[in-house]
Structure 1
Amino acid sequence: MKKEIELKMRGEIKRLTNKTFKFDERVREGWFSAVYFLKTKAIAEKYKRDELVTMQFFQKTHAVLCGTDEVIALIKTFAANPEELEIHSLEDGNKIEPFETVLTITGPYQNFGFLEGIIDGIFARRTSVATNVYNVVKAARKSGIQKPVIFMGDRDDHFTQQAGDGYAAYIGGSKAQATHAMHEWWGKKGIGTMPHALIQLFNGDLVAATRAYQETFPEDDLMALVDYNNDVITDSLKVARVFKDELKGVRIDTSNSMVDQFFCRNPEVMGSFDPRGVNPALIFALRDALDLEGFQHVKILASGGFTAERIEEYESQQVPVDMYGVGSSLLKIHIGFTGDNVKINGEHEAKSGRRYRPNPRLEYIEHE
C-alpha cells in the first residue's frame, strides 16, 4: 500500500475521463456481448423492467487493479440511462485481495447487464498487465535501488492494444515505454534507441550506425545495441573507445539460440550454466571489460525473455544490469474477473456459492 499512497500523494494516479477512450460504437448494439446476455436483456425488458439488480465484480488472487476508469467510461457511454445507475468502484493502482469486490453496479438489468463480459475482459487484461509489470518492477529493486524497466511489448500483441497496455504498465510502475501509443492515456512519448535494422543498414558496422544515430538525434542519450555481430564485448569496447563519455549505455539482446563469441574465445569460463543468449556470466564479463578500460560510466541494459523470476535471480546474484527491457512476459493474461448478480431490489439473490461482498473501500462514482 505504501507505493500506492505515495503515487496518489504525488498526483500520479488520476481518474481518466470518457474522453480518454476510443470505444467501438458497435458495443451499443451488443456486437461484443455474449449472445445469452443479449437474450437476457430482451427478456428483462419484457418481464422484469422494474427490478433493480446489483452486480459485483471480483477476481481470485493478489493483484494490482487496473481498468476501473475504462469500465466506468464504458458504462457511462453505452448503458441505457447511465445517470440512473448507482456505481461504486475502487481506483486504478489499488492493491486488491482475492475475492475482494472491485466494482458494483445497481440498476435495471436491461440497462447494463449486456456489458458484463466486456467489463470482465477489460479488468482481466488491464489488471494482468499492471500486476505483471508491478512484479517485474518490484524484482528490479531487490538490490536496494530501483532499476528502470522499459516496457517493450509492441511486438507481442495486436497494435490496437498498445494504449491500454501502456497505461496498465504505467499503473504497474513502468514509465519508460517503446511506442507513443503506449503513452497515449497518460501524456508522454515513447522512448527508444537503435534496433538491429539500423546496424544492418550500415553492413554490421556498429560504430558507423552509432555515429549516424548521434548525428540525427543529438539530444538523446547515446546507447548502442551491441549483439548484432554476436560479440558484445568486442563491439561494446569499439563504440566506447570512439564515443567515450558520450556513450551512456549498451544494450544486450542476444538470441536465446546463440552463444556469444566471448565464450568461444574463453572456453575455460564455461561451467554448468547455459551460455546461450543473455546470461549473467556474459554480463559480468562485459562489465569487467568496460571498467578495465575506464568506461565505468557506461550502463548495461539487458533485454530478451526477462520475467519477474529471472530478474529476481539476476538481482540475487548482483548481476551488473542497470536497466531491464521486458516485453512478452508482461502481456500474459492470467487474472480472470467474474461479474455476479448478487442482489435484487436490495435483497440477497445469487447463485449458490456467491454472495454480496460489501467493500468499504469502494468509492461512489458521481455522474457528470
Structure 2
Amino acid sequence: MSQSADMPTRAAVWPDAGAVDAWADKYFARTRQVVEKFGDCQVTYAVFMRRPVLYAARLALDWLDTVSRERGDRFDIRQRYQEGDWVGAGEPLMYITGRFARLVDLETVFLQKLGATCVAAYNAFTMCEDLPRVAFLAMDARHCAGTEMAELMAYAAAVGSHAAQKSNNAKGFIGNATDATAHFFGQTEGRGTMPHALIGYAGSTVRAAEMFHETFPDTDLIVLVDYFGQEITDSLAVCARFPELAAEGRLGLRLDTHGGRFIEGLDTPKSYEKLERHAPRALRGYRTETELRYLIGTGVSAAAIWHLREALDRAGYPKARIIASSGFSPAKCKVMAYARTPIDVIGTGSYLPDSWSETYATADVIAYNGERRVKVGREFLFTRDDTPTG
C-alpha cells in the first residue's frame, strides 16, 4: 500500500514495530506463536463496522504500512471505498491479505486507529451538511484521550468536512485549535484567540480584547462575551472599541454561555418571542425536550443567537460575526438548522463519538489458503462477488 500524496510524513509512528507485541491483545500474540509453530498460511481479513460510517482509514492504513515495512512484511490491501464515502452497517470496509503469523498481532492497534475516525468523520459530515453556510472549527483537542487520539479526531473532522464540501458545497471545517493537526485543514497553524482565563486576568472583556489585539494586531479578533454574564453589553462595548474591525468582518463575538442560565436579556417567554419572530416553524413541529432546550432554553440556544444578532444589527454592526460554542453536537446543529440560526462559525469538539461502543471496528478472517471460512453469523462478509479468497 502506498502512502497518500497529501499525507504528511511523520518521524515515527506509535506503537512502532518493536512495541507492537506489548500493545497487542495477548491472544493475538499467542496465536502468532501457535501459527509459527504449526505452519503459517495465507489469510484474508474482512474489516467492518456495525453502524453506518464515513470511510476514514488513511491514518490506520498509514500505520499498518509503516509497521509492516519495518518488519519486512508486505500485505495486499483492497479498499472498497474512497476516503469520505458513506459505508453501510456491516459492509466490509476493506480486505487485507497476507501471512497469518505476520498479520494477527497487528489487529489490535489497527482497529484502534480505524473505528473512532470513521464515526467521528460521519458526525462531522452530518453537522456540515445540516449547516452548509456555517464554518466550523475543530476544538476537540482538550476532550481527547492524549495526542494520538487528537490526531485521529482532527483527521476525521477533515474527512467529514471534505465530504460535505463535495456533496453540498458546505463551508465545512476551516481550521482547528492546535498547530500539530492544522495541516489536515490546509492550515499552517491552529486557530484561537482567548480562553475565559484571559478575560479574568484582564479584569474586563474590553480590556482582554485590547490586550489581545495589541499583541496580535494582524489576527482576527474573536472575543468571549459570557464571562461576566453580560453577553449583549460586552459585545456592543467591544464593537464600539473596535468599530473598524467590526466593519471589516474581522471582529467576532463568541457565545459560550453555560447551560445554567440564560444569556443577558433573555428568559423563557422572551426566547419564544425571538423564535416566533425569526423562525416560527422551528417551534411548531414536534420537538423533543432536548430539541426544545436547544431552541429556547438556557445556554447557547437558537433564541440566544438571534437575540445577539438583533442587538448587533440594531447598533450598526451587521458585519460583526457570531461564533457559537458549547455542546454543538450533530443533534444541536440539526436544531440550529431548523431555526435558521444566524451563526457564522461553530466551535465544536462534540463531533467526537458520543457512544464509544459504536466505534468498535471488527476484523474477521474469512479465508485460509484460499478456502472461505468464517464463524457462524458472519456469513454476510461473503455476500460480495469481489470477496478475495487468498
The Cα shift of 1:177 comes to: 0.5
How large is the RMSD of aligned CA atoms in angstroms?
2.6
Q: State the TM-score, normalized to the length of structure 2.
A: 0.80
- Aligned positions of 1:1-368 closer than 5 A: 14=5, 16=7, 19=10, 22-25=13-16, 28-49=19-40, 51-78=41-68, 80-83=71-74, 85-89=75-79, 90-141=81-132, 146-160=133-147, 161-173=149-161, 174-183=173-182, 188=187, 189-203=189-203, 205-247=204-246, 248-263=251-266, 269=270, 275-332=297-354, 333=356, 334-355=358-379, 356-357=381-382
How has the CA–CA distance of structure 1 residues 217 and 140 changed in structure 2, closer, same or farther, with 3 Å as cutoff?
same
The Cα shift of 1:187 comes to: 5.8
How has the CA–CA distance of structure 1 residues 185 and 223 changed in structure 2, closer, same or farther, with 3 Å as cutoff?
closer
The worse-fitting range, judged by mean Cα deviation, of 177-186 and 300-309 is 177-186
Distance 1:301 1:135 in 2: 19
How has the CA–CA distance of structure 1 residues 306 and 228 changed in structure 2, closer, same or farther, with 3 Å as cutoff?
same
In structure 2, what is the equivalent of residue 6 of structure 1?
none
How has the CA–CA distance of structure 1 residues 167 and 295 changed in structure 2, closer, same or farther, with 3 Å as cutoff?
same
Distance 2:370 2:382 in 1: 13
The Cα shift of 1:165 comes to: 1.5
Distance 1:313 1:99 in 2: 29
Distance 2:373 2:54 in 1: 29
Any gaps of 5 or more consecutive residues in structure 2? 162-172, 273-291
How has the CA–CA distance of structure 1 residues 108 and 190 changed in structure 2, closer, same or farther, with 3 Å as cutoff?
same
The Cα shift of 1:71 comes to: 2.5
Distance 2:387 2:313 in 1: 53
The alignment covers a number of residue pairs equal to 342
Whether the 8 Å contact between 1:303 and 1:324 is mirrored in structure 2 is yes
Any gaps of 5 or more consecutive residues in structure 1? 1-12, 364-368
Distance 1:58 1:236 in 2: 49
Whether the 8 Å contact between 2:77 and 2:95 is mirrored in structure 1 is yes
The Cα shift of 1:60 comes to: 2.4
How has the CA–CA distance of structure 1 residues 73 and 221 changed in structure 2, closer, same or farther, with 3 Å as cutoff?
same
How has the CA–CA distance of structure 1 residues 270 and 169 changed in structure 2, closer, same or farther, with 3 Å as cutoff?
closer
Task: Show CA shifts across 1:202-232 (max 9, x none).
Answer: 11x1111111111111111122111111111
How has the CA–CA distance of structure 1 residues 191 and 225 changed in structure 2, closer, same or farther, with 3 Å as cutoff?
same
The Cα shift of 1:156 comes to: 0.9
Distance 2:304 2:368 in 1: 62
The worse-fitting range, judged by mean Cα deviation, of 23-32 and 311-320 is 23-32
Q: Residue 213 of structure 2 aligns to which amino acid in structure 1?
A: Q
The Cα shift of 1:113 comes to: 0.9
The worse-fitting range, judged by mean Cα deviation, of 58-67 and 85-94 is 85-94
How has the CA–CA distance of structure 1 residues 136 and 229 changed in structure 2, closer, same or farther, with 3 Å as cutoff?
same
